[in-house]
Structure 1
Amino acid sequence: MPFGRHCQCGKCRKGSHQTRAIEKMKGRNYILSVVLLLLALRLVAQDLSIKRYADTIRYEMKYGRIIVPVTVNQVVYRYILDTGGQTATIWEEAKAMGGQLTGASKVTADMNGKANMYSMGRLPEVKIGSNLKLSLTTIALPDIKGFRELGVVGILGGDAFKDVVMALDGAKSELRLYYPYRPKGLKLSDGIPLAYSETWHVNFPLSFSGASVQVMFDTGVPELLTMSEKDYLFLAQTQAATVVRKGRGTLGAGLEGLGEAKPLKQVKMGEFALGGKSFQNATCLVAPNVPTILGAELLKYGVVTIDYPRGRFYFQPYEEASADLAKAAPIWDVSILPAHGRFEITAVWEPLTDRLNIGDEVVAVNGKDITRLLLSETTISDIFDRLISSETTITMKRGNRKFDIPVHRR
């Protein structure tokens, strides 16, 4: 039966009480509309009150490390950007910044997986870019020679960016910070969900020829890929990872110094894709007790955006064409680092594993004496970077005997 202002009740033949019911319903709808409107206006007002910003910070790339300026108490310092680490500062420098000790904690702050008890501190009035201002918890570090050589006072971890969206553009050497939203064009549904991490590490699944493992995007590692022994064994079952050659040694020096020598593998990986871009024939180093890492070399191929508040990882390639990495990152038959007051062999690969030992002293490279050079990682890195050929000779010393060994980059 139609129901309206001029309709009559079937019992009393009057429409007045029906009219009152309609008017009461309209009144309720009006009140509800007003409440919803006020709520919407409040949300809009809150949104307008949020300070939105987009900062661009130029960074320097030095020996594969991203170095960014950070202002503390109105003084500019330089830090290594390390998304796989926790913020840590040489405490002598932190005290000059006005830092205060707050306690101690056991921290795994080392690329070799070593943990130690470190004092913890707090840095006041930290500013990254023009708008990101915070008080920052930091690990208190002893004086580290490698940091001094790079001209930095520590590492800046993902914990510093937990409230913002961070983009890294390798082509422009730019760190871009956005708050509170992502840059235009990036949808939440397009990002790779991040696994929960109390230390704000960027962990997500990555598939190699259809088999998936968890990787950590870590700007503190220069190489494109390093992998744990456990993940390699899993991928090898589906032929998504095959051994190219074997070796022995350590992947490098961490905060706790050189790691113990371990079995190493150089492995060819199955195809993987990020942001629609395919990567083929990538090689990586495999070692026990290290995480599987996607390193800073990824920035050669596209822009990485990390939405920390919403837990998303984005990769926007510079070119859509597949990247064939078969010859992208050859490595030398040996690794040499300063240790025990001299330059020593810290890793050796086939076919030299039967001729050289970990800890052997190196006294010359390409016929040039290195015993009087500054004992540092950057010194030996510069020597090998300047070599044009993929072959050179290193001079070894065992006791009173010296001998030459040809080494190759492959």
Structure 2
Amino acid sequence: MRSKMYCIVTFFILICHMNGYAQQTKRICDTIPYEFIREKIVIPVVVNGVKVKYIVDTGGQTGTMWEEAMEMKAESAGSLVSISDFNGTGVSYQKGILKNIQLSPNYQIDELNTMVLPEVGMFKDLGVAGILGGDAFAQTVITFNARKKIMILNYPYRPRGLKIEDGVEMFAGTTHHSIVNVKVGGEMKKMLFDSGAQGFFSISKDDFIEFREKGLCNQADQAYGVNGAGLVGLGEAVDVYKGSVPELDFLGKRFTNVGSITSPNSRSIIGVDILKYGEVVIDYMRNRFYFFPFDDEVEDMGGAPKTWNAGIMPRNDRFEVTTVWSSMKDQLSFGDEVVDINGTKLTGLPMSQWEIEEIMSTIEGEQAYIVILKDGKEKKVEIRKE
């Protein structure tokens, strides 16, 4: 009788153990539809019962604006997070802790560290609380499919049928950044796949100079200024180069005449536009990165990008000339105040880079004019795309 009872108890414990193990290793495969707004991937998230939206930024670190963090009842971690933004500017933010983060119907994170950010105009314009970096997905495998505008989240296993040898090593480090080797003119260079970066390719200034000296990059023009805003605004004005690399191979997909404008970042970036050419799968747990092209055609990217020979952005609570290309160096200076673009008065316009981009994008043809205010006098200056 005792022997029979022992067998029953042992069997019961075994069943409980098996059920517990099955529960711990439950396979999750959730599809997350996303919005693609102004070249940003935006997904719905529930944090501590609060429904919000976040930008998915594989090149960044999770950050939440202060007001939204308070609504989510984020806890203070009592320390600071130091990062470098788009312009390479170092900045520190208070660290907070988010609780109960529902990333998909079946996947929830109990706790997630977040930078607590001041109000960011771009986030407000997009209606998002902040950004989710690779740290938010550190225990998952995520697939980006731009044709269907979906992300697929797998946990704890890779998608069925995906072989580890189909991918390449990812150098994620402690930041969970999706850094992989990319071949440029036959030479390997570590680059960051950044879903939060617009465009196809952003080359670091250091890489541009190195490639140029090795004959792997062609220079088309040079400017002085800044060409983008980071979390802390515009960086310092520097020399900016425009050009192209004759050939770039991204994990088996070949691109030729790949144009780019240099950035102050320490690392070159493959931006969100790579998703137009194939599926990206990131296995954060195993540090493997996969790219599955939609076809095997060689893509001609058209060479150095055509841009206006004067860049304008909000700065110092007004609109200023922030990039001066070589053909304009005798007519404009970095910091000149701009009050009119091709007949559109800028007085009263919100201090937004997107406002300027919207005006510039509606200009027909490749010639226009701006009006600058210098020494109290207005001066009309012709600009052109080149």
Q: TM-score, normalised by structure 2?
A: 0.90
Partner SS, residue 175 of structure 2:
coil
Aligned partner of 1:270 among 246, 252, 257: 246
8 Å contact from structure 2 (residues 183, 248) kept in 1: yes
Q: Does 1:92 align with 2:67?
A: yes
Report what 1:311 is aligned to: 287
Q: CA deviation at 1:327?
A: 5.8
Distance between the aligned counterparts of 1:315 and 1:356, measured in 2?
Answer: 44
Number of aligned pairs? 370
Partner SS, residue 274 of structure 2:
helix
Distance between the aligned counterparts of 1:387 and 1:45, measured in 2?
Answer: 63
The residue type equivalent to 1:258 in the other structure is L
Distance between the aligned counterparts of 1:95 and 1:167, measured in 2?
Answer: 31
Q: TM-score, normalised by structure 1?
A: 0.85
Report what 1:395 is aligned to: 371
8 Å contact from structure 1 (residues 112, 290) kept in 2: no
8 Å contact from structure 2 (residues 243, 305) kept in 1: no
Report what 1:326 is aligned to: 302
8 Å contact from structure 1 (residues 227, 290) kept in 2: no
Partner SS, residue 371 of structure 1:
coil
Cα distance change on mapping 1:109 and 1:60 into 2, 3 Å:
farther
Partner SS, residue 355 of structure 1:
coil
Larger radius of gyration: 1
Q: CA deviation at 1:324?
A: 0.5
8 Å contact from structure 2 (residues 244, 260) kept in 1: yes
Report what 2:223 is aligned to: 247
RMSD: 2.2
Distance between the aligned counterparts of 1:406 and 1:228, measured in 2?
Answer: 30
Q: CA deviation at 1:199?
A: 0.8
Distance between the aligned counterparts of 2:298 and 2:218, measured in 1?
Answer: 21
Following superposition of structure 1 onto structure 2, how do residues 128-277 of structure 1 map, counting pairs within 5 Å? 128-134=103-109, 135-277=111-253
Q: CA deviation at 1:407?
A: 2.4
Distance between the aligned counterparts of 1:153 and 1:396, measured in 2?
Answer: 36
Q: Does 1:123 align with 2:119?
A: no
The residue type equivalent to 2:380 in the other structure is D
8 Å contact from structure 2 (residues 185, 216) kept in 1: yes
Report what 2:43 is aligned to: 68
List 4+ stretches of structure 1 deviating above 6 A. 42-45
Distance between the aligned counterparts of 1:160 and 1:365, measured in 2?
Answer: 41
Q: CA deviation at 1:127?
A: 0.6
Q: CA deviation at 1:123?
A: 0.6
Distance between the aligned counterparts of 2:383 and 2:173, measured in 1?
Answer: 42
Distance between the aligned counterparts of 1:296 and 1:239, measured in 2?
Answer: 27
Report what 1:22 is aligned to: none
Cα distance change on mapping 1:255 and 1:296 into 2, 3 Å:
same
Query: Unaligned 5+ residue runs, structure 2?
Result: 1-16
Q: CA deviation at 1:360?
A: 1.0
Distance between the aligned counterparts of 1:153 and 1:178, measured in 2?
Answer: 24
8 Å contact from structure 1 (residues 81, 219) kept in 2: yes
- Deviations 1:158-197 (Å, cap 9, x if unpaired)? 1000111111112222121112222344321121201141
Identity among equivalent positions (%) equals 36
